[in-house]
Amino acid sequence: MKFQKKRASTNQNIPMASLPDIVFMLLLFFMVTTTLREVDVLVDFRLPEAAAIEKIENKRLISYIWVGKDNRIQINDSIVRVEDVQSIMYAKRQELPNIIVSLRIDRGTDMGLVTDIQQELRKAYCLRINYSSTIKI
């Protein structure tokens, strides 16, 4: 008597042809959801720590102002003077009416400079601000 191995008659391969499509879908998802960092930060800063902080929901509305340890102010890709903040921010507000200005200021900065920047922002009608700070544990 001859024994015959019993095998399912169906094809047992997983179809590999759709793998690239699946991976491309993943890729597209990541490409769409992530925002690439578009500016180089030229100043050196350490953010202050705070506990009662909120997340900013809408990333596209944010515009940054950096202030470094050496009191230099950076907007976009360049170092600017305090007097120029108003005109630059006003132009930005024209494009984005409900702009949120995120102030990334070094923890050792004098309040005088911070107040000056705030006054410039008020003149430019950029009234929604956010003092960027890290979470205190």
Partner 1 sequence: MLKKKKIAEASIPMSSMADIAFLLLLFFLVATVIDVDTGIGLTLPEFIEDPETVEIAKDRMAAVLINENGDVLLDGAPISVFQIKNQLKPRIISKIDLPATRKLIVSVKTDRRTVYNTYIQALDQIKMAYFEVRDETSNAEFGRKYKDLNPEQQEFIREKVPIIISLAEPEAIKN
The torsion region of residue 57 among left (phi > 0), alpha (psi -120 to 50) and beta comes to: alpha
- Find the shortest distance in angstroms from Cβ 69 to partner 1: 11
Tokens read off for 39: 């500016």
Question: Is-contact 70 43, C-beta < 8 A?
Answer: yes
Residues 64-93 as x/- pattern, contact with partner 1 by CB under 8 A: ------------------------------
Which residue from 1, 8, 14, 135 is in contact with partner 1, where contact means CB under 8 A? 135
Pairing of strands 100-105, 62-67: parallel
Q: Which residues 27-66 are close enough to bind partner 1 by CB under 8 A?
A: 27, 30-31, 34-37, 48-56, 59, 62
CA angle, 57 as apex, 53 and 61 as ends, to 5°? 110
- Interface residues with partner 1 (CB under 8 A)? 16-17, 19-20, 23-24, 26-27, 30-31, 34-37, 48-56, 59, 62, 102-103, 105-112, 114-115, 118-119, 121-123, 125-136
